[in-house]
Chain A
Amino acid sequence: MSNMAKAFVNGKAFIPFITCGDPSLAVTEQLVYAMEEAGADLIELGIPFSDPTAEGPVIQEANVRALSGGVTTDRIFAMVEKIRKHTQIPMAFMTYANVVFSYGTERFIQTASELGMDALILPDVPYEEKEEFDIPCRQHGIDLISLIAPTSHDRIRTIARDAAGFVYCVSSMGVTGSRREIKTNIQEMVNLVKKEKEIPCAVGFGISTPDQAAQMAAQSDGVIVGSAIVKLCAVHGAGAVPYVKEYVRQMKNAIR
């Protein structure tokens, strides 16, 4: 079993997202350990980008904070190297195409793989453009995660057929950030995927409360939460670790 697949063996998966370097890489590292202890099954590490077009205000601001603190791709790689001495929890990088491309796509993916990263999520790379990233990913044993959206309709089958790791189901229209309710028929999206391929489906965008998480998990294999956690980092700064840990514990309990 791949390390990535282990994320989906412990009941429904809880997948927290944090922005690397917000407020510092030292805190990011501590957050990874704390979230694992609290029951996280897979951790998404956001590499900040200056102009994150798929993000709402909360994660946009986290990117600004991280970048103004001097975070770079190389420093994040160094942090991952340290983390991998302590834990083998499945981890995915989530960033934008230009961060990978400008580093040298092949070089970025090879380095990430050698450091023990399991997956890569690029929200601005749709199915049509995935090849230039997917070929090196497959070569180096990294899953390039495919996203499907409420507007995907008949694209879902094609996307699912080529998907690896898990399918990221975007729950709502718009950018990341919490929403009062999620109206999309998630079950239908998940069914379309599963008809094509037996692959885990995790739902993200707009989820912040344990109730929402439970509702989404009931229709899928896992739940991704970003903005709600990043908000805790914004409010508590260097003191965020216990707050995030408690939040992750509650969320995992809600979907168990």
Chain B
Amino acid sequence: MSKGRYGIHGGQYIPETLMNAVLELEEAYETYKNDPEFQRELTELLNEYAGRPSRLYYAKRMTEDLGGAKIYLKREDLNHTGAHKINNVLGQALLARRMGKTRLIAETGAGQHGVATATAAAMFGMECEVFIGKEDTERQALNVYRMRLLGAKVHPVSTGTGTLKDAVSETMREWTRRVEDTHYVLGSCMGPHPFPMIVRDFQAVISKEIKAQLLEKEGKLPDAVLACVGGGSNAIGTFYHFIEDATVRLIGCEAAGRGVNTAETAATIATGRLGIFHGMKSYFCQDAYGQIAPVYSISAGLDYPGIGPEHADLYDRGRAEYVAITDEEAVSAFEYLSRLEGIIPAIESAHAVAYARKLAPQMRRDQIIVITLSGRGDKDCAAIARYRGEDLYE
């Protein structure tokens, strides 16, 4: 039986050309994850370079406005490069360097993972190439420029829908072309084993900190933790240390796009079914013949037809809940948090904020919700303005 299973999900469905590379990666990771020197170096980078631990901020005005549960924001948006992606990238880049790799390649949707990878490559003096859907180079023009500024070569991908899934496919193709000196820094808790495990472990710092910070502030566990889900890396990081705490509700917020009853959606749990794609068995949006659906969301980072295998299993087991948030609800939450708390969230993270607006009023005042703000929203301002009918560049 294959490795890396989460219930029936996961596995290693990749071309033979890549098998030795993932086996080598797994072996290196098993070696270094318990190596005190590796861990010391990673912790120092996370703290001194990325600015961890990130803050757990009590959103007083939002709490008062919603009139229910107390709301805390886990401020991953305050990390260096502006999102949670750096947590995983620093870990993988360090691993790649120990493995003797000199070149990093990555896919990116919203551009945050690409920026984080370009950043780590610059800092470690490594070569870097990032693949991004052509559609997303327009939605995330600012991040494309940031990647170039950081010294990365950016490849717009025009195959398929020109979005995140196509960027993943193209990065996989590039990896099969040149694997000897190259590490594929996968950005989400997806793909073939060991990636879902590695990414989860590097992102688990989020829930580890939430737990400690909330115990210090409130002396108890949260009642619910919320995070947006595309592939699901910030969500698995937010959930991980609470999986064993049965009283904590784990809620992933998917992108419904124009609605789960339309074809223009990216809500995998709501509309997908079991399949095999991008190296893993999991849930995917697909047609009756297994052709992957051209999904849609206003958020480039959630515009993905699948979900990481550990999420699929948490869903099967009923341990985590997944809800779908429309473009309109997310944009409205983007504006809401900006005005009420002076925090502009990434449009991805705004999906989690949107669900908190529905959930908090149904909860008691002595209950606590933690929302992970996976990233900051500067990158989205032009696109949201356009959504509201205003062209910033006119």
Size class of the contact patch on chain A: 35 or more
Q: How large, as a class, is the contact surface on chain B? A: 35 or more
Q: Smallest Cβ distance from B18 to chain A, in angstroms?
A: 8
CB-CB < 8 A to A56: which residues of B? 173
A96, A99, A126, A150: which has the most chain B beta carbons within 10 Å? A126
- Whether B275 contacts A170 by the Cβ 8 Å rule is no
B159-A129 in contact (CB<8A)? no
Residue-wise interface mask of B (23-44) relative to A, using a CB-CB cutoff of 8 A (1 in contact, 0 not):
0000000000000000000000
What is the bound-complex CA distance between A98 and B277, given in angstroms? Answer: 7
Contacts A124-B15, A129-B11, A155-B19; A98 near B292 (Cβ below 8 A) = yes
Q: Is the CB of B290 within 8 A of A103?
A: yes
* Docked-complex contact B17 and A170, CB < 8 angstroms: yes
**A contact residues around B159 at 8 Å (CB):** 57, 60
Cβ of B393 under 8 Å from chain A: no
Q: How far is the CA of A124 from the CA of B172 in the complex (A)?
A: 11
Q: Which residues on B sit within 8 Å (CB–CB) of A54?
A: 15, 173, 176
Residues of B with C-beta under 8 A to A99: 289-291
B interface footprint on A83-113 (CB within 8 Å = 1, 0 otherwise): 0000000000000111111110000000000
Q: Give the distance in Å from the alpha carbon of A54 to the alpha carbon of B176 in the complex.
A: 8
Q: A50-B292, A101-B276, A128-B12 are in contact. Are A175 and B173 (CB under 8 A)?
A: yes
Return the contact of A102 from the options B3, B12, B160, B290 (Cβ within 8 A). Answer: B290
- The answer to whether B15 and A149 have CB atoms under 8 Å apart is yes
| In the assembled complex, B286 has its CB within 8 A of some CB on chain A | yes
Question: How long is the Cα–Cα vector from A150 to B17 in the complex, in angstroms?
Answer: 7
Q: List 25 A-B contacts (CB under 8 A).
A: A50-B292, A53-B15, A53-B172, A72-B289, A73-B289, A73-B290, A98-B290, A98-B292, A99-B290, A100-B290, A102-B275, A102-B289, A127-B16, A128-B19, A148-B16, A149-B15, A151-B17, A151-B20, A152-B19, A155-B19, A173-B17, A173-B176, A174-B17, A175-B173, A175-B176
Besides the known contacts A49-B290, A100-B290, 8 further A-B residue pairs in the complex with CB atoms under 8 A apart: A51-B165, A53-B172, A74-B289, A101-B290, A102-B290, A126-B14, A127-B16, A152-B20
B residues contacting A by CB (< 8 A) are 1-3, 11-21, 159-160, 165-166, 169, 172-173, 176-179, 273-279, 284, 286, 288-292
Please list the 5 inter-chain residue pairs (A to B) with the smallest Cβ-Cβ separation, ordered nearest first: A102-B290, A174-B177, A149-B17, A97-B276, A50-B291
